[in-house]
A and B are shown apart, each in its own frame.
With several copies, the nearest count.
Chain A
Amino acid sequence: MTQPELVQSLYQTMHLVRRFEEKLVELYPSDKIKSPIHLSIGQEAVAAAVCAPLNQDDIISNTYRCHATHIAKGGNLNAMMAELYGKATGCAGGKAGSMHLVEIESGILGASAVVGTTIPVAAGYALALKNEAKKTGEQRVVTAMFGDGSTEEGCFAETINFAVLHKLPILFVCENNEMAIHNPIERRQAISIQERVKPYGMPMGHVTSGDVFEMHDEVTRLTESVRAGNGPAFIEIETHRWLEHVGPNNDDDAPYRNPADLKKWKENDQVARLAEMLGTEKTAEINAHVEELVAESVTFAEQSAFPTKEELYTHVYA
């Protein structure tokens, strides 16, 4: 991919995430979306960068804050919006909602609302892919997304140890927004995530700049290392959540917020930055396309039917 192509591709992904979620902000007061939504507005660069080096049949594993990577990994936008509406045409027929988005044909492993749970699950998937590669000769990779808070759960330490021990094809991505709900990281973690993880000897990255290109380069380097069979890698990407933890609102003046941080990160907005790089014309073209996609997803969701009550009893057992 040439540099201009990259700029365009990253911009398109980030802008789509941004606009999709802004649409949710707009729609939410209508109460058509009856499920907790955890938005990634402000954090779009991470998703765009992380998914860029992934193939469709690579796997991404998500937390409840999963809209951005769902989109970036290529999840069907209509099925996604329909899922948020709880419609039968949703990616999980309305059973999942925002917190459990899934689309296995796009390599999107179901998300979980219990913090940390997906980390070992992703490692288990990676174990299977390591096994598969012995037969196919092709190493698919698993990218495990999680927040800074997840790393406090015991299963994080357990999984890192296991993954290194078994040289699993997994990239651990810690999306560090320095918050778990309203609780700042320094009140939860005695030492930095970098310090904790470094001793495991995995190839590591740490992007503090918020620069989507730096994220992209680091993630690409590490993903390729994983794909080459070098075992797990780890990257921590610093970012900032602009809106409240859950829901569509700003909470700029909530006591846990540091306004200077928010200001700094907003000034560092990668969506705006890349728009500028692309120029008004190109941006307008992409934007128009994005608006269409988002509008179409809303129409699709609105026009779809709710599941029938028989659906309550389907898929309890396989």
Chain B
Amino acid sequence: MSMLSNQRLLRTVDALAEACSQEMARDDSVFLFGLDVDDHKAIQGSTAGLLEKFGPDRIFGTPLSEDAMTGVAVGAAMAGMRPIHVHIRMDFVLLAMNQLINMGAKAHYMYNGQIQVPMVVRCTIGRSWGQGAQHSQALHSMLMHVPGLKVVAPTNAYDAKGLMIAAIRDNNPVIIMEHRLLCNAEAYVPEDLYEVEIGKARIMSQGDDITILGVSHMAIESMRAAKFLKEEGISAEVIDPVSLRPLDMETIGNSVQKTGKLLVVDNGWLNCGLSAEVLASIAEQGLTGPDGQPVQVARMGFADTTCPTVRCLEDHFYPNGRTIAAKAYQMVKAQPTATWLPPEGVQPEIQEFKGPF
């Protein structure tokens, strides 16, 4: 992360609120709307203070009408405004697919550049405390499938602010996928306005033995895995893709050519997902490791099931630092049946998380 002045430790939600507030002050075509954005809970605090500062014309709650409200965002964007539409869970975006994909993603192309759709869709992936089948989905892979859309997934407060600003200024529909467990995570965030480039991955920790690409919350779990692996003398390079579409295959490709091994850990299902895309792209390019051998690849992600509610099943639904480390260990040691598992570690954002929501 580049060094900018006036850094403060901020929670991700505060960084998001700050980004919106600064952009709304800078550009009066920006407005923010969605269910519950203007209540006292303020979407975990991520919209806090905006109503007081900008009034109900520029931040307002809506009826429960995700489909039409997405259309309203599309239309307002076509007219030159810069709407930010907020969903408190990504699962509800399934109600907005028609507008997002049939209109939002296509208008600029279909109308041959005459119209732009500079809109932002914020949505949060739920997890823990029994979010269950319908409040825990991460649908980025579906959205990544569609030309015309951009998708980003900040995993820390710094990126959250910089991506939010970049997304607002982008002239295309940008989906910002947040993660409920990361809402309160703190990072140093500059006071100034800055953009985090959409389309650039970030190397979170350098390493030589294996590349681990961790998406959204799995970037955090991958860092945990890297720590476990270090104790075994394995040096993992952890990459946070930050931007999912466009995806920075160059950074990933460079890393795997150095390590010769790639483990993609998606915060989502595998089938036809981001992890498939990355593995396919590496294979298609025929990338090789330092030994000249093809890069060895593997992927992890949500179990190929619906998400169960009870914690003891949920624990097996998601990869975690230990299972990621174990998989990486097998790959590095070239022992596919090795059963080494790191000791139980702490996952404060999970262990400390208590709903009710």
Q: Which residues of A approach B to under 8 Å, CB–CB?
A: 28, 31, 34-37, 59, 86-87, 91-100, 102-104, 109-110, 112-117, 119-129, 131-132, 149-150, 152-155, 158-159, 161-162, 165, 180-183, 187-189, 246-248, 254-256, 306-307, 309, 311-318
Contacts and interface: CB of A to CB of B under 8 A. Distances in A.
Given A92-B112, A152-B63, A188-B64, A124 B73 contact: yes
Contact of A155 (B67, B83, B134, B310): B67
A123 B355 contact: no
B85 to A, nearest CB: 10
A131 B57 contact: yes
Contacts of B273: none
Contacts of A128: 75-76, 79-81
19 contacts: A34-B311, A34-B355, A95-B109, A95-B132, A98-B130, A99-B130, A100-B110, A112-B103, A114-B102, A117-B71, A119-B71, A120-B70, A124-B72, A158-B68, A162-B63, A189-B63, A246-B355, A316-B147, A316-B306
A35 B132 contact: yes
B323 interface: no
Contacts of A132: 79
A99 B132 contact: yes
A129 B79 contact: yes
Given A102-B110, A159-B71, A254-B40, 16 more contacts: A94-B313, A95-B306, A97-B310, A103-B114, A121-B99, A128-B75, A128-B80, A131-B81, A132-B79, A152-B65, A153-B95, A158-B69, A183-B39, A314-B113, A316-B305, A316-B306
B110 A94 contact: no
B233 interface: no
Given A35-B355, A181-B39, A182-B40, A122 B111 contact: no
B356 interface: yes
Contacts of A116: 64
Interface string B149-184: 010000000000000000000011000000000000
User: What are the 4 tightest A-B residue pairs by CB atom distance, in nearest-first order?
Assistant: A124-B75, A35-B130, A120-B71, A86-B310
Please indicate which of the listed interface residues A112, A125, A246, A316 has the most CB atoms of chain B within 10 Å of its own CB: A316
Contacts of B66: 153
B296 interface: no
Interface in B72-127: 72-81, 83, 91-92, 95, 98-99, 102-103, 107-118
A192 to B, nearest CB: 14
B79 A124 contact: yes
Nearest to A165: B63
Given A110-B107, A121-B75, A154-B68, A86 B309 contact: yes
B36 interface: yes
A35 B357 CA distance: 8
Contact of B98 (A93, A96, A117, A314): A117
B140 interface: no
B148 to A, nearest CB: 6
Contacts of B95: 114, 153
Contact of B116 (A124, A189, A306, A318): A318
Please indicate which of the listed interface residues B304, B308, B357 has the most CB atoms of chain A within 10 Å of its own CB: B308
A181 B65 CA distance: 15
A248 B117 CA distance: 34
A14 to B, nearest CB: 24
Nearest to A184: B61
Nearest to A102: B111
B133 A312 contact: no
A40 to B, nearest CB: 15
